[in-house]
Chain A
Amino acid sequence: MNPQILSLEGVSQIYTSRGANGWRRVDVRAVDGVDLDIREGETLAIVGESGSGKSTLAKMLLMLNHPTMGQVTYRGSTLKTLGQEERSRYRRQVQAVFQDPASSLNPRMTVEETLGHVANRHNIVAKAEVRSFLAAQLAAVGLDPPEHYLGRYPHQLSGGQQQRIAIARAIMLKPKIIIADEPLSSLDVSVQSQILQLLSDLRRTTNVGFVIISHDLGAMQSIADRTAVMYKGRVVEIGEAIYRSPIHPYTRLLLDARLLPNPRGTRIRSPAPRSVAPAASLATEGGCRFLQRCPHAIEVCAAVDPQLRPMGVGATHVACHRAEELSAAPTPM
């Protein structure tokens, strides 16, 4: 097993906002006590619905935000206490790719300017060799012939090509980890599979690790070594086999909600409940935060907040009081 490179210990991010009606200040725990180890060279997927805190987690890994509580450590040193030089090195070794490539590239800079700016800023190559260096980077992300793309502006490229430029910008610094926040969701399916292919090729050739934030479990299944499922700011299940043998009821719910291209499927056509319950209150004082949606809840779930614990087989950890019983039950898929 590779050594761990990034680790989160009891990390929380609390945002303060005004309540829905009134002036009372309300604390929103976007991330609420997450422990997570990221190993060198691994691809870790973080999945969950909107509001689960996955993007907030990415921001903390990118040092765009510091956790309100807990700490993020990179190779043994806490991010918050890094000196200027170490901080700059961290920023080089941990790179980002975002959801919407069009808005993460400067519309007034050509590809050469965008990438050249980064190369010069970090002094990674002699001035005279910048152009040939950039050409090699473009070839590495599958933009061939590179000369064809260097002089172009982002709007002259397709979404998939733009995302390749964003990836080139990240990998040219030879990072240890790339944090990608929803890198696929603004792309068409055929382009998504090309980008997934590119990420998996890069992993093989450069040994870079990925933390990929996504709501698309299907895409993550094809690329992730490990997957963490987040719900309301917590990791509720993490492991290598969550797609084949999910344990947490929320993981099962997510997998079950996927619509596969099966014309004989009956999930939509099954008689729908006549009405949906109003959004459950967020208050789950003391108990499990999945309680209101859980079909398996028992008394203890309302009283005790379940902690992430190992499941014995494999590397799976689950935060559920009934994990043992549920893992013995047949999976819904």
Chain B
Amino acid sequence: MTVSQSHMPGAAEHLLDVRNLKVHFQVSDRTVRAVDGVDFHVKPAECVGVVGESGSGKSTLVRAISRLMPNLRVSELSGDLRFEGHDILGMSERDLRALRRSHGFSMIFQDPLGYLNPTHRVGRQIAEALTFHGKGRSDSQRVHSLLEEVGFSDPKSIAHGFPHELSGGMRQRVMIAIALASDPKLLFADEPTTALDATVQLQVLQTLYRIHKERNMAVVIITHDLGVVAELCDRVYVMQTGKVVETAGTVDLFERPKHSYSARLIELSAHRINFRSAGL
């Protein structure tokens, strides 16, 4: 599906529909157009990648969508943002919280340690995310089953431990468990494995993919690593200086890139130009 089609009535089938999103920042006397007129959508149970280099606006895009923006420096925030037809930008804090707390969207970040409370046990931090819908099983049972779902074979001891006792990959799994606690339809993952070693990255991504499939949960993954996108995503947006320069199905993008910037990114990450063979 192309972007132009999203303007048709069929757009209602989109889980998330973003049109002409603009986010501008005021930095001293300059206006930075971090996101400058982006159309973006996510269908239910789809895995979408957003790639670009630093400064391309990919993180700002998803932060604006999930309304995690520091209002202070934003000079313009406009566009049409709809999640299951609800207008996100016009939504009250209360409704927004309800959306984040149950069956809406969740988010995980690059540096899990920065988002985990070092003084609380892991289990309590996951249970916190559950609080608003305590029905049926007890909190601790639900925490344990979430920890099992993200791949811990001994959820009890993990729940009882503190974040500093876990490795980087385990912390990211805990973050995923917290994000899953609200039973989201859409998960935003902002560079989820950039801080991890390659072997651990692969394991965490495999887990993320399994959960995406088992729960039929849509995933938006932001990354600068085309390798992650290639193997994980169904569809990709390529961003450069605040604009989407290309959007395509993953196989199409990698095998027939239309924009020169996409082609260059792919080429660079594919072979890293072998200098010596270039006759130097």
Identify the A interface with B (CB < 8 A). 20, 49-50, 159, 188-193, 196-197, 200-201, 204, 215, 217-219, 221-223, 253-254, 257-279
Contact = CB atoms under 8 A, between A and B. Distances in A.
Contact of B227 (A215, A258, A278): A258
B74 interface: no
Nearest to B152: A275
B275 A268 contact: no
Contact of B264 (A190, A196, A274): A190
Contacts of B168: 50
B227 A261 contact: yes
A197 B275 contact: yes
A292 B269 CA distance: 32
A196 B268 CA distance: 12
Nearest to B54: A188
A197 B273 contact: yes
Which secondary structure dominates where chain B touches chain A? Answer: helix
Contacts of A200: 275-276, 280
Given A193-B272, A197-B275, A222-B275, A268 B280 contact: no
10 contacts: A192-B268, A193-B273, A218-B272, A259-B231, A261-B230, A262-B231, A263-B230, A268-B202, A268-B205, A268-B206
Contact of B206 (A49, A50, A265, A270): A270
Contacts of B201: 257, 259
Contact of B209 (A258, A265, A272): A272
Nearest to B147: A275
A99 to B, nearest CB: 13
Interface in B188-237: 197-203, 205-207, 209-210, 224-232
Contacts of B197: 49-50, 215
Contact of B268 (A190, A217, A264): A190
Contacts of A189: 53, 224, 265, 268-269
Contacts of A193: 268, 272-273
B28 interface: no
Contacts of A277: 153
Interface of B: 53-54, 148, 151-154, 165, 167-170, 173, 197-203, 205-207, 209-210, 224-232, 250-251, 253-255, 264-266, 268-276, 280
B230 A259 contact: yes
A244 to B, nearest CB: 12
If over half of A's interface residues share one DSSP class (helix, strand or loop), that class is named, otherwise mixed; here it is loop
A312 B226 CA distance: 38
B275 A259 contact: no
Cβ-closest 10 pairs across A and B: A259-B227, A272-B206, A188-B53, A275-B153, A257-B198, A49-B197, A268-B231, A261-B226, A200-B275, A263-B254
A280 to B, nearest CB: 11
Nearest to A260: B227
B199 A259 contact: no
A269 B228 CA distance: 11
Contact of A188 (B148, B169, B224): B224
B207 A261 contact: no
Contact of A272 (B148, B207, B224): B207
Given A257-B198, A259-B230, A190 B206 contact: no
B270 A260 contact: yes
Nearest to A52: B197
Q: Which of B207, B229, B251, B272 is the most central at the interface, judged by chain A CB atoms within 10 Å of its CB?
A: B272
Nearest to A221: B272
